[in-house]
Amino acid sequence: DQQVKQNSPSLSVQEGRISILNCDYTNSMFDYFLWYKKYPAEGPTFLISISSIKDKNEDGRFTVFLNKSAKHLSLHIVPSQPGDSAVYFCAALVTDSWGKFQFGAGTQVVVTP
Amino acid sequence: NAGVTQTPKFRILKIGQSMTLQCAQDMNHNYMYWYRQDPGMGLKLIYYSVGAGITDKGEVPNGYNVSRSTTEDFPLRLELAAPSQTSVYFCASSSSEAGNTEAFFGQGTRLTVV
């Protein structure tokens, strides 16, 4: 039962433009959401997170938006840079559930010159 | 600052062999996890631990065992390796302190069972 879904396996975007990655979830108990970035042959690294009490969190070029009623979150990267080419995972958490993260399948982002 | 260290990085096993994937963290985190990532799939939780001496099953525990004798170490044991266990394995840790929900990952172990 996939509780966190990333329906776009890949995204190609031109350098300097906006990348928008989407994530949907089914479990209304999730109260914390994270985005991880993964380069080949490396482990995922934390990018940005958002609590369910907020609808937006911004960190430099990265902004995460949360729509609780739609059970949807998105990651915006503006402007996209070649170094952003990676796989991005959405993760969700019920914060009193011993930290058991549920991950989406990932979206491969390719930023072209 | 090592973070989460996994060994080995790569391993080829024959069907029926066994091995232990090592994981160590130096951040004094209580929570530790083992995930596997199959091609085109998200990370699936195999086992987790909330502290030394305490472990529990995740989504896909069959064929694996873990132990947690110290805060730092969380080895994953594969008994009787099968081709279905070909995957990339990630160990992670996180703090149990309120507000610290980020998980830190190791670099992964790529395991092939032939």
Q: Which residue has the higher pLDDT, B62 or A1?
A: B62
CA angle A50, B37, A44 (to 5 degrees): 40
pLDDT of residue A99: 65
pLDDT of residue A52: 94
Distance from CA of A15 to the nearest CA of B (A): 25
Which band of pLDDT confidence, cut at 50, 70 and 90, is reported for residue B97? confident
The 10s digit of each residue's pLDDT in A14-51 is: 999 999 999 999 999 999 999 999 999 899 999 999 99
pLDDT of residue A2: 81
> Which positions ≥6 away from A75 have C-beta within 8 Å?
A19, A20, A21, A23, A35, A47, A48, A62, A63, A64, A88, A90
Indicate whether A95 pLDDT > 90.
Answer: no
pLDDT of residue B96: 75
CA atoms within 13 A on the CB side of A38: 28
Residue B101 phi, psi (nearest 5) = -105, -5
Task: Please tell me if residue A103 touches chain B, with a CB cutoff of 8 Å.
Answer: yes
Q: Which domains, from first to last, does chain B contain?
A: 4-113 (2.60.40.10)
Pick the CATH number of A4-95+103-112 from 3.30.460.80, 3.40.640.10, 3.40.50.300, 2.60.40.10: 2.60.40.10
Which band of pLDDT confidence, cut at 50, 70 and 90, is reported for residue B102? confident
Task: Please tell me if residue B34 touches chain A, with a CB cutoff of 8 Å.
Answer: no
